Structure 1
Amino acid sequence: MRTITLFVLVVSTLFVVNTISAQEEYARKVKALKSQKEQVTQQEKEALKVEVSEINRRLADGSISEEEAKILKEAAAEKRALNIENRLVIIDNQISLLERNDGILLNDIGVDSIPEGQIRIGIDIGGKPAESYIFNTNSWKRDLKYDRRTYSDFVIAVGLNNAIIEGQSLNDSPYQLGGSRFFEMGWQWRTRVFQNTNFLRLNYGFSFQFNGLEMKDNQYLVLNDQGNAELQTFEYELDKSKFRMDNLVFPFHLEFGPSKFKETDKTIRYSLHNQFRLGIGAYGGFNIGTRQKLKYEQDGSSVKDKLKRDYNTNNLIYGLSAYAGFDGVLLYLKYDINPIFKDAAIDQRNVSLGLRFDL
């Protein structure tokens, strides 16, 4: 109970102090404005004396006539009288605004004086800039090209993966048809070949390929005494046995297909939106990693082995690829000409079929 009473007392004290402080600030502002009213007339009269003195000097020098001097003095007197009237009205309005709202006013809406094409980033304290930096956004804008011949896209491809083995069909493959998959992502550029038609385009870039093979029949990859990779039966029942090859490749395709021509006063463009596309080409690159994952149970415990080894795979990757589809959704096929493993008794070559998305 004492704690609650003390808390209420502290809050009440702070409220009273804050109220008194606000009232004092309000009274100080009103007093300052009334003091300004007394100074306005005196300031304008002093300014009028200076102007009249200058007019008299010009009259004495003979640069103006008495009639011109009279007109100038009347104009100066009228200007100063209007200044006094306007300034007093402004101060009276400020006093009325404070009194009507008990000194609590909304912040004024300031006019941004930053030139067009620039932005200010800074910290405001009390509604006033404390620290700021001006950036010229015009330098961020690229000039609009009249004829843009090269475009770029982020590319993702996913699908099924397997291996073509000499003397065997895919049905006899030691790798699962559904469990073996690939994933590819990269960046591509697309350049129009001819000046006045977009029917033929060059498609080139780089991609990271992740080709996975899931082994059947409780088998896994091992290196034999000759250092060659071969499939052997694992000693425990495998829940999963996967081998993956990671490649960095540089694809190049000739792309064919119609496009929509659009012309404005400032640009000409060839759009592939909802248009058929066919690409035929090749790729070359490097193997950047191989690994095998095994998942099984041993003595009632679940075991996961991740083996990152060479497995005597080819370091140089090269193959053929093609795609076809509409807009940015394409059927995608790629085939490695190089064998997966070096010095193998029977050559195996990776093959993939899936969907490619140009984003």
Structure 2
Amino acid sequence: MKNKLNIKTKMKSFITALMIALIFPAMAFAETDPKQDTVIIELNNNSKIVIITKSRADLASLENYDVNQMIKDLNAQLSDSVEYLEISDGKAYVNDDDEVEMKDWKINDDEVRIKLGGVEVDVDPDEIDDWDENDWEDRKKVTYEAERVDRTSHHFNIDIGLNNWLDDGNFPDMNNAPYSIKPFGSWYVGLNSTNRTWVGGPVFLEWGLGISWYNWKLQDTDFIIEEGSERIEFNQAPASVNGQKSKLTASYINATVVPMFDFSRGRRKITSIESGGVKIKKYSRKGFRFGLGGYAGYRIGSHTKYKFKENGSTEKDKETDNFFLENFRYGLRAQVGWKGVELFANYDLNEVFSTNRGPLNANNQSANLNAISFGITL
């Protein structure tokens, strides 16, 4: 809960008016009548409760809030110098089986907070030592919907998917090229620190930094990836060798900007669970959303790995080099989501290898390879 207090130190009388305002983001009503309805409840001692709402449906949603508990908590914080106080919708007091829980947790200095995708976990080390399975049986659970959207929110997510490359718009395995990529098992992984900024209406902007890994595994494991004198080469392994895995890995640090259209306008379903020293919040998005943007990255590492059997023993060769890879990458990113599911697709507009440094194709020319990746965002 965010309290906005205008304090006049010379005030001699106690608070004479209490305003409780339910404030919803302006974007949710960008296409509706801007007029508001006001309900004023006269109390004793010249006190009032003023409720400002957009519609009868919003007024009905007050049934989900415990106003008595809200006022008790406010009264405990008031001093004789308070003239005016306003409650924004940053904290919800939700009724559930006659129990009231305040949804915004304040983390202490000795607590640990882990936030991944739509799950947030707070752990208090002092209490977790005494935690047992009986505490979990007595856990408190509340599910509610949050209409409020922060101007900018931050989260950490993981991209997990597959990657490949296109040779002039076609997959290399169409021509049985030695640099054909194994369709399943060539994993793409991205770790992203992402900000989500509300622009207005259903428009959001997702932007941030991250680290990603391409893992190109060859379809034919009897080919070895090597750096030649003029280009990257995919050479046949000796007959005495039985190849098991052959891959090229490249890692990049990236900056990404993706405009998003979120037709739920940021509304989320939130489930909170508290047990002993453990607090868990799960955020689930609502509705359909999609976006198209771009990214740019800089290579921070690359290596090849060849796993094979020779004379009955398993061996591994790992080489670290640049392998004629382009240091920069840039491309297009598409995102689409439905409720709790988020999918992504990346396409590098620049080539994987430097100009005329790619592997030779069937026409004995340098192949023009562009990286692609797609998968799910956690």
TM-score by length of 2: 0.50
Q: Deviations over 1:153-193 (max 9, x none)?
A: 11111111100112643542611111211111111000011
Shift of 1:148: 2.5
Is the counterpart of residue 219 in structure 1 residue 223 in structure 2?
yes
User: Is the partner of 2:216 in helix, strand or coil?
Assistant: strand
User: In structure 2, what is the Cα distance between the partners aligned to 1:183 and 1:229?
Assistant: 24
More helix by share: 1
Q: Is the 8 A contact 2:173 2:181 kept in 1?
A: no
Please name the residue that 1:152 is paired with. Answer: 154
Q: CA deviation at 1:348?
A: 0.6
The counterpart of 1:323, out of the listed 335, 338, 341, is: 335
In structure 2, C-alpha distance between the alignment counterparts of 1:324 and 1:184, rounded to whole Å: 17
The 8 Å contact of residues 249 and 284 in structure 1, kept in 2 or not, is answered as yes
Aligned pairs (5 A) from 1:18-57? none
1:356 shift after superposition: 1.1
Q: Residue 220 of structure 1 aligns to which amino acid in structure 2?
A: I
* 1:1-359 to 2 correspondences below 5 Å: 148-166=150-168, 168-169=170-171, 171-172=173-174, 174-194=180-200, 197=201, 199-217=202-220, 218-226=222-230, 228-235=231-238, 236-259=241-264, 273-343=285-355, 344=358, 345-357=366-378
What is the RMSD of the two structures over their aligned residues, measured on CA atoms?
2.5
Aligned counterparts of 1:250 and 1:298: Cα–Cα separation in 2: 43
Q: Which amino acid aligns with 2:236?
A: T
Identical-residue share of aligned pairs (%): 26
Q: How many Å separate the matches in 1 of 2:254 and 2:199?
A: 23
Partner secondary structure for residue 338 of structure 1: coil
Contact 1:259–1:272 at 8 Å: present in 2 too? no
Query: C-alpha separation between the residues in 1 aligned to 2:203 and 2:343?
Result: 19
Unaligned 5+ runs, structure 2:
1-105, 111-147, 268-282, 359-365
Match of 1:33 in 2: none
Residue pair 1:260, 1:272 contacting (<8 A) in 2 also: no
Deviation at 1:307, TM superposition (A): 1.3
Q: Is the 8 A contact 1:258 1:272 kept in 2?
A: no
TM-score (ref. length: structure 1): 0.53
Deviation at 1:342, TM superposition (A): 0.7
SS of residue paired to 1:283: strand
Output the amino acid matched with 2:166: I
The 1-side partners of 2:156 and 2:191 are apart by 8
> Given residue 355 of structure 1, which amino acid in structure 2 is its aligned partner?
I
Name the CA distance, whole Å, in 2 between partners of 1:120 and 1:296: 51
Check whether the contact 2:165–2:171 (CA below 8 A) recurs between aligned residues. Answer: no
Which structure would you say has the larger Rg? 1
Structure-1 separation of matches of 2:344 and 2:187: 13
The alpha-carbon deviation at position 309 of structure 1 amounts to 1.2
CA distance in 2 between partners of 1:321 and 1:261 (Å)? 21
- Measured against aligned partners, the alpha-carbon deviations of 1:24-58 in whole angstroms (never above 9, x if no partner) come to xxxxxxxxxxxxxxxxxxxxxxxxxxxxxxxxxxx
Secondary structure in 2 matching 1:286: strand
1:350 match: secondary structure: strand
1:227-254 C-alpha deviation (Å, 9 max, x unpaired): x112111222211111111011101000
Secondary structure, counterpart of 1:193 in structure 2: strand
Q: Which amino acid aligns with 1:150?
A: T
Letter in 2 for 1:230: E
CA-to-aligned-CA distance 1:180-226 (integer Å, 9 cap, x gap) = 111111110000112xx2x0011100111111111122112112222
How many aligned positions are there? Answer: 204
Residue 293 (structure 1) shift = 1.1
SS state of the match for residue 185, structure 2?
coil
Q: For residue 64 of structure 1, what is the aligned residue in structure 2? A: none
> Which amino acid in 1 is paired with 2:150?
R
CA drift at 1:301: 1.8
Instruction: Answer 1 or 2: which has greater strand percent.
Output: 2
* One-letter amino acid of the counterpart of residue 367, structure 2: I
Q: Which residue of 2 aligns with 1:80?
A: none
Match of 1:209, as an amino acid? S
The one-letter code matched in structure 2 to 1:158 is I
Contact 2:332 2:349 in 1 (8 A): yes
Cα pair distance change 1:261/1:168, threshold 3 Å: closer
Deviation at 1:300, TM superposition (A): 2.2
How far apart are 1:260 and its partner, in Å?
Answer: 5.3
